[in-house]
Structure 1
Amino acid sequence: MHRNSRIFVAGHRGLVGSAILRRLAGEGYNDLVLRTRDQLDLTDQAAVRAFFDREGIEHVILAAAKVGGILANDRFGGDFIRDNLLIQTNVIDAAWRAGVKKLLFLGSSCLYPKHAEQPLREEALLTGALEPTNKPYAVAKIAGITMCQAYRRQYGFNAICAMPSNLYGPGDHFDPEGSHALPGLIRRFHDAKLAGAPSVTLWGTGTPRREFLYVDDMADACLHLMHHYDGEDIVNVGPGEDIAIADLAHMIRGVVGYEGRIEHDLTKPDGHPRKLMDVSRLFTTGWRPKVGLEEGVRRTYDWFLEHAAPAVAPAVPVQAAE
């Protein structure tokens, strides 16, 4: 992948895609092909095939996906499995048909079995039952990985798959209803601070442990893999360290400057008990993350204050979901 390669970043307005776009532009890649959802509906097979036939794409980073936290996955599971299956099937197949040189497909740590041995090794995929709260999303993304591997074996298509840990950073979604844990906590502690709420309630016990990767580090890893990896096996991407949700909440409360209590709603689900990935396969290629968790949270909160913070305090006390 050269500076003048024609590169399609699918999902360039999302959390990961926008970070990848920043990194590519910063590195001097000058032929980036970008389409908004209005310009190209990736769930439309005919439109996607026509796009690839017309544009002469050489490399694809497939960061487009329908994503969300526990609440969104529980409420909109049908949307999650349908949209992700359509997006990835259309893009992977059209890319192969059009002669794309290399494609990077992004999975997620939540695709691993709920009770897989920790830390999660790549070989653990499909060895046990999935976490029920995100099963539709996980099944769809596992199908995408399997498709990449099958196209490599049958057609020689150079498709590689990366499995990021929980991502966060500039461009994240801070919707109280549908966001992931870390940005959701930032929003809820911020709202509680503005409202003068005496407490913020977390879903579950707070004991589940999660691994968080700053999204610009993920973008760096994507470019690293495009340059240095061509294998069939999936590759975990993360810092190799995790933190309990309760400890994360205390860290975010400190960064935000909220002084109220943290309480727990034990009637709500915890989700995966732990998701820490074995990242030795990636680390042996020479890649390491650069941004620590607390520094990443501070950067993310600064971005939130500038771009996404509500102008006024919420009218009612807020709660925080895991």
Structure 2
Amino acid sequence: MGTRVVVTGGGGFIGAYLVKRLVRDGWDVAVVDTMVRGDAGRLNPVADEVQLFSTDVRDQRELERAFKGADVVMHLAAINGTENFYKRPELVLDVGLRGALAVVNAGRSVGVPHLVVASTAEVYQTPAVVPTPETVPLMLPDSLNPRYSYGGSKIVSELIAFNYAREHYDRVQVFRPHNVYGPDMGWKHVIPQFISRALAGRRSKPPNEPIPFEIQGDGSETRAFCYVDDIVDGILTMYSNGGHREIYHIGNDEEVAVLDLARRVGRGLGLELDIRPGQAALGGTPRRCPDISKMRNLGYRPKVDLGEGLKRTIDWYVEHSADAVTNELL
């Protein structure tokens, strides 16, 4: 068998793509996921080749059982999605903080040599420098705003990874993914929400009539979206070529305004959107784009540009548009 890896949150969006890639590359793969937010169906193509532990990531004793014999633990389990940050901050914090402690301590207990931890671009909130390098100070601007439950939990998770693991692991790496997207990412993120709302507008408006389409803010806000396959490439490049006690941005530096993103989604669906600015979300960030020089120095190159990635994503969501109705998000 190949290298033994345990992926926590392997039924999640990034986790499932990572698991499938690891299996294809010949790794010996185990997944820790209760599938409360994950989806076991994402792993169907490799289900017979993956060992699944239906274990809560906060349960250290059960994690020790799952981690025995592992060469590396890749910890991706979290409660993600902006809607959850506002509506379920207690759960976001509980899973984020207690999960990080349990993972690091379980790995210590059973002698796992390598640890990879997923952080987030949310640790910067509104970064002082854009494109943003890994050295920019992390920020928690308002502890009263539940949005920061996620970014705050990831800041603490990084501290746990680098300090609890300091003398117990041969390699500890943290990656901060930036605005990952792609097919089957769920319905609580900006791109699938844009797609599902545009499709709903098409059903409710006469043909050839522009579809009213509200966005948060004036549309000048920017993001740099990275297709999920490129994120997975980055994780594996980092693990193979990166150093111990290092932090890496994994993303794409192709920046796009939210207004342009909405227009691209409309064009991809063959629809004309009447885009209407709205109130910006409290705690939103006007601009976000990673400096990926550190990853480029390891040999990482994003391969899927936004045009191609949106096409693949739109095609998947059109095919599964009935699921959006089921999830009552239209």
TM-score by length of 1: 0.87
What residue number does 1:170 align with?
A: 183
Query: For the residues of structure 2 that align with 1:110 and 1:212, how far apart are their CA atoms?
Result: 14
1:15 maps to a residue whose letter is F
Distance 1:194 1:7, change over 3 A: same
Is 1:36 paired with 2:33? yes
Choose from 44, 64, 87 the match for 1:49. Answer: 64
CA contact (8 A) 1:111 1:130 kept: no
What residue number does 2:150 align with?
A: 137
Query: For the residues of structure 2 that align with 1:105 and 1:77, how far apart are their CA atoms?
Result: 21
Query: For the residues of structure 2 that align with 1:267 and 1:4, how far apart are their CA atoms?
Result: 48
Counting only pairs closer than 5 Å after superposition, residues 224-243 of structure 1 correspond to structure 2 as 224-243=237-256
Query: For the residues of structure 1 that align with 2:324 and 2:204, how far apart are their CA atoms?
Result: 9
Task: Indicate the percent of aligned positions where both proteins have the same amino acid.
Answer: 26
Query: For the residues of structure 1 that align with 2:195 and 2:137, how far apart are their CA atoms?
Result: 31
Residue 313 of structure 1: how far off its partner (Å): 7.4
CA contact (8 A) 2:119 2:158 kept: yes
What residue number does 2:74 align with?
A: 61
Query: For the residues of structure 2 that align with 1:4 and 1:120, how far apart are their CA atoms?
Result: 36
Q: Bigger relative contact order, structure 1 or 2, given CA contacts below 8 A and separation 6+?
A: 1
Distance 1:311 1:101, change over 3 A: closer
What residue number does 1:188 align with?
A: 197
Residue 128 of structure 1: how far off its partner (Å): 6.9
CA contact (8 A) 2:7 2:15 kept: yes
CA contact (8 A) 1:110 1:275 kept: no
The size of the alignment, in residue pairs, is 306
Secondary structure of the 1:33 match is: strand
Counting only pairs closer than 5 Å after superposition, residues 64-103 of structure 1 correspond to structure 2 as 64-69=77-82, 71-103=83-115
Secondary structure of the 1:184 match is: helix
Distance 1:256 1:150, change over 3 A: same
CA contact (8 A) 2:140 2:152 kept: no
What residue number does 1:108 align with?
A: 120
Choose from 280, 286, 301 the match for 1:273. Answer: 286
What residue number does 2:39 align with?
A: none
Is 1:159 paired with 2:172? yes
Secondary structure of the 1:60 match is: strand
Query: For the residues of structure 2 that align with 1:47 and 1:76, how far apart are their CA atoms?
Result: 25
Distance 1:93 1:311, change over 3 A: closer
Is 1:254 paired with 2:254? no
Indicate the larger mover: 266-275 or 187-196: 266-275
What residue number does 2:159 align with?
A: 146
Residue 115 of structure 1: how far off its partner (Å): 4.1
Residue 161 of structure 1: how far off its partner (Å): 0.3
Indicate the larger mover: 215-224 or 227-236: 227-236
Choose from 200, 210, 213 the match for 2:226. Answer: 213
Residue 289 of structure 1: how far off its partner (Å): 0.6
Distance 1:311 1:139, change over 3 A: closer
Root-mean-square deviation (CA, aligned residues, Å) is 2.4
Query: For the residues of structure 1 that align with 2:184 and 2:329, how far apart are their CA atoms?
Result: 25
What residue number does 2:21 align with?
A: 23
Distance 1:281 1:312, change over 3 A: closer
Residue 138 of structure 1: how far off its partner (Å): 0.8
Query: For the residues of structure 1 that align with 2:325 and 2:242, how far apart are their CA atoms?
Result: 48
Secondary structure of the 1:18 match is: helix
Query: For the residues of structure 1 that align with 2:102 and 2:140, how far apart are their CA atoms?
Result: 28
Query: For the residues of structure 1 that align with 2:280 and 2:241, how far apart are their CA atoms?
Result: 46
Structure 1, residues 122-169: CA drift from partner, whole Å, max 9, x if none? 111336737956311111111111111113433344210001110011
2:137 maps to a residue whose letter is L
Query: For the residues of structure 2 that align with 1:21 and 1:151, how far apart are their CA atoms?
Result: 26
